[in-house]
Amino acid sequence: MVKIGVISDSHGNLTNLQDAVGELNQLGVDAIFHLGDYVRDSKKIHVWFNRTIYSIKGNCDQGSLDGLNYAKISFENKIVYATHGHLFNVKSDLDALYYEGSQKKADVILFGHTHRRLLKKKNGILLMNPGSLMGGRYSEDPSYGVITIDNNDVSGELFKLN
């Protein structure tokens, strides 16, 4: 079994980032994806988390040498495709992102950018937006997510930051 922590849109709120990483440590995650908007914040995760961290660039990270535009990673024979979402216009709809993920043969598509939590399955692909760690925008509380891959089963859960 693999547990993957998913955070996005920290926007420099290092207090919430540290709290989220602490909660993810308590949940026993094996890796963390930081889905951008202040990809430089993901460097701080190494202080609190000593396992694998995947850093994705967001629209606020243009010009940064840190992070990737997307990642396609295999965990227990399941493909996780992660991107910030701005390159796929996710504030309008998820069609372009879903198409890209399905072309990459993804079992899970992770994205941020909208600051709104989302967890749903579409044609067998799990889509997750963990919301924003910044909080306040769109009146949603700071939040993060966890993906669990257990044999052939893929599931997700969203958490409000305590």
pLDDT tens profile 1-11: 999 999 999 99
Res. 139: pLDDT tops 60: no
The domain that holds 107 is classified in CATH as 3.60.21.10
Q: Where are the beta strands (DSSP E) in the chain?
A: 2-7, 31-34, 52-55, 70-75, 78-83, 108-110, 117-122, 125-130, 143-150, 153-160
8 A C-beta contact, residue 68 and residue 39: no
What is the value of pTM for the model shown?
0.96
Res. 18: pLDDT tops 60: yes
Domain that holds residue 39: 2-160
The reported pLDDT for the residue numbered 126 is 98
Structure tokens at 104: 């990459």
